[in-house]
Each structure stands twice: as structure tokens, then as C-alpha cells.
Amino acid sequence: MKKSVFVFALAAVAVASLAIAEVNVNVSVGVPAPRVIVSSPPSVRFDAPPLFVAPPQLGFYVGVDTPYDILFSSDFFYLYYGNGWHRSRHHNGPWVEVPYRDLPPAISRYRIEKIRSYRDREYRTYRNERERYRGRTFRPEHERKEQIKEERRHDKEELKSERRHEKEERKQERREEKQHGHGRD
């Protein structure tokens, strides 16, 4: 028993000292020991800032035409890599692992397969419509401030339009009420 505890403690020290690289440790002393995997943050880098589209079903931006699953939400980039989520303020990292429970609700509400499905559908629409595409896109560090201003302008115009429409509906309801009210007199 003392020997197995010593071997296990020795393995734990070895794992802690090798935390920079992925390490598999198997200790066998009669009782099967758990497999320990220590992984380092991904070193994912993009030669050029990726293009992001915002599928309306999701409510956040998804990177397209890239071999990685990268998202943008709440001023952070999220990378799905090695069956786990990582976060960074910049699209090229440095990446920090994020437990699933700490993801924004907008992201954690979808499985990665569903996100990919919505991303692929929206990207096909973007590629087919190009100049007529009405969805939202952006590239990090590439006219981002102008895009934010344009998005705010667009949102403001939509809100004004909705308010005008609601106001017209209320006026129409009042007219109808008046007409029905006079008809009873």
C-alpha cells in the first residue's frame, strides 16, 4: 500500500512539472489508476483576421472560411479547440481555457454541431448574395469602429421604424374605437 501511494505521489509531481505539454500518465500497481491529461493553451494564430458572420438564430458572430471554430460575443473571442472552450480578447490569443459553465448563455445554449450548422447556412447565403447580403459581418481590426457605428445606426433606424409602426397601429385602433363608439350613440 505504501509503495502504491509513493508511486502515485511521484507520478503527480512529474505531471505537475510537465504541465506545459500534453502528458499521459499511467501508473499500474495492481489497481488501475485514472488517466491524467494535462494540456496547454492552444497556439492558434490566423495569418489574417477571419471574417465573421452573425446568423440571426444565434445572436453572436461566428468565424467562417477558417479551419477553427471561433466565435465573437460580448467583446471576447471564443475558440472551440480540443473538445474545450478557450477565450481571448484578441482573435490570435493568448487563449485561456474557459469552463463550459462560464461561457456566455448565448453560446452555451447551443451544441457546437448546431453552431456549425447555422454558421454554414449563413455563410452560404453570404457567398451567394455578396453585395445584396443583408446580414451582419465583421473582420477584427478591419474597420471595426465603422462597422459598430453602422450597426448602431441600423439598429436605431429599425427601432424608429418599429416605434412609427406601433404609433400608426395605436392611431388606427383609436380611429376604430371612435367609429364604433359613435355608431352606438
Please report the pLDDT score of residue 1 as a whole number.
53
Of 29-33, 161-165, 181-185, where does mean pLDDT reach its minimum?
29-33
Q: What is the dihedral of CA 70, 73, 75, 80, to 10 degrees?
A: -30
Q: Would the pTM of this model clear 0.75, i.e. be above it?
A: no
What pLDDT was estimated at residue 48?
A: 85
CA dihedral of residues 87, 90, 95, 97 (deg, nearest 10): -10
Per-residue pLDDT reduced to its tens digit, 41-90 = 678 888 888 999 999 999 999 999 999 999 999 889 999 998 899 999 99
Q: Which of 24-38, 141-155, 162-176 has the highest mean pLDDT?
A: 162-176
